[in-house]
Amino acid sequence: MKVHKSSDELQKEIDDLKNKNEAYKVLIKDLKGHIFKIGLLEGEIVKKDNLIKGMEKVIADLSSK
């Protein structure tokens, strides 16, 4: 096992880590966007569910008359 690394090897490792870090930043930004969109969609689902429940109540009220 090599204990000491040359400056070039260390610089390559630093560059590789910087590239990985940038890639992770891009992924995190993308995931945050997806999470936001999921939240919006969940809100739309709740609205539609409430609308359906209201319509069911109206139908039940009209059917009982």
What would the pLDDT profile of 7-56 be if each residue is shown by its tens digit?
999 999 999 999 999 999 999 999 999 999 999 999 999 999 999 999 99
* pLDDT category of residue 4 using cuts at 50, 70 and 90: confident
Q: What does the alpha-carbon distance between residue 36 and residue 11 come to, in Å, rounded to a whole number?
A: 38
Judged against a pLDDT cut of 80, whether residue 1 lies above it is answered with no
Q: What does the alpha-carbon distance between residue 19 and residue 29 come to, in Å, rounded to a whole number?
A: 16
Q: What does the alpha-carbon distance between residue 10 and residue 29 come to, in Å, rounded to a whole number?
A: 29
Q: Which pLDDT does position 53 carry in this prediction?
A: 97
Structure tokens at 7: 């400056």
Q: What does the alpha-carbon distance between residue 43 and residue 34 come to, in Å, rounded to a whole number?
A: 14
Q: Which pLDDT does position 2 carry in this prediction?
A: 65
> pTM (2 decimals)?
0.66
Q: Is 4 helix (H, G, I), strand (E, B) or coil?
A: coil
